[in-house]
Copies of this chain bind each other. A is one copy, B any other.
Amino acid sequence: MVQQEVLDRVFASLADPTRRGILVRLGEGPATVGELAEPTGMTLTGMKKHVRILEDAGLIVTEKVGRARECRLGSAPLDEAMAWISFYQRLWARRLDGLDAYFTLRDPKGSR
């Protein structure tokens, strides 16, 4: 159940281009909320909402530094999400293998 909630939050975090952009930006190094907001033309308040969502999902961590809030990537970014997608893709590949075997059986010369 807890695992499901982690996945819910991680995938919901990723379902927004601004938040995906923040993760890519933080991949280059830490940034304050102001530095994240500046190139997007977004208000600080708007950017803070996105930062909060990413932080709640564990994808980033933030720390008060002087008057600014510095953001950096969390320690296990997207591992859960990647693991779920991989599991699902294996499942899907097995299904395709099954279909392939089915067609080969029907037409062993493979002339389809």
Contact = CB atoms under 8 A, between A and B. Distances in A.
Given A11-B11, A17-B7, A73-B95, A78 B85 contact: yes
A84 B13 CA distance: 13
Number of copies: 2
A16 interface: yes
A82 interface: yes
A15 B12 contact: yes
**For chain A, what secondary structure do more than half of its interface residues adopt (helix, strand, loop), or is it mixed?**
helix
Contact of A11 (B14, B77, B82, B86): B14
Contacts of A8: 15-17
A24 interface: yes
A32 to B, nearest CB: 17
Nearest to A91: B27
B88 A23 contact: yes
A3 B4 CA distance: 26
A20 interface: yes
Contacts of A94: 27
